Structure formats: C-alpha cells, structure tokens
Amino acid sequence: MTIRDLTDRRILGLVAKKDGRLGERIRAARAERGWKQKHLAAEVSVEPITVSRWERGATTPDLEVLRLVAGATGKPLSFFVDDGAPSAQASPALADAATRIEAAAGRIAEESERLAVLLSELVEELRAARSGS
C-alpha cells in the first residue's frame, strides 16, 4: 500500500465519519439513474454486495473506485465527499497545504523558465556549431 493509498483512505474515512452520508449519496446517485445495485456494481467492477455495504455505511470505497462511481453516475466527485463546510480542524491544514502547493508551483514555474532559456541557448549553440562545420 502506498502513501497515496493511505491518504486517500484516511480522507474518505474522515469524510464518511464526518457527515455519515456517503452511503446515502451513493444510493441517491444510483437511484437517480434508475439503477439497481447490481447495475452500479457492474459499472465500477465490484460485486453487488460491495455497493450494498457502501450504501449502508458498513464500508467505504477507495478514492479511485469513488471516482468511477462519480463518472458512472454523472455526478462530480464533490457530490460524494464535500459537505460544503470544511471542518474547523481541516481548514488550517488545508490552508497550509494550499500555501505550500502554491509556493512549489511558483518554484517550478521559475525553474521551467530558467530551463527554457538554457535549452534555447543550447539549441542556438548547436545550430551555430552545425552551420560552422
């Protein structure tokens, strides 16, 4: 199991525990399509009993499977995981993560520009060397 898998499971676990409505949302999305549990199960390649467990809140799908559920039902992923109100504990952590991501994106953009200039210079040197030979 990777760190991403653990993170995805932790996020989904927190969401499922937070409002207890993930199963209800899966059921609503399925019912809106007029599908039985076995139809949704076939769409996302799981057993029908698995869908039943999700809807009862006995288990939680992993994030990749929930993405498949969202795609199959035509709902955005946020329909299943966003209650519209971030928790007070999550907000500072999310803000900090967003700040770190923005800073990293800025550094990547700067480095990309620097590399683009270096590559342009290298291409010009190669062209000059080729035309000079």
DSSP 71-100: HHHT--HHHHH--SS--TTHHHHHHHHHHH
Instruction: Answer whether residue 20 shows pLDDT above 70.
Output: no
Q: What is the pLDDT of residue 17?
A: 46
φ/ψ bin of 76: left (φ > 0), alpha (ψ from -120 to 50), beta (otherwise): beta
pLDDT in tens, 36-88: 999 999 999 999 999 999 999 888 888 888 889 999 999 988 888 765 544 54
Q: What is the pLDDT of residue 6?
A: 46
Q: What is the pLDDT of residue 133?
A: 63
Domain ranges of the chain: 3-81, 86-133
Least confident of 47-61, 96-110, 118-132: 96-110
The CATH number assigned to the domain with range 3-81 reads 1.10.260.40
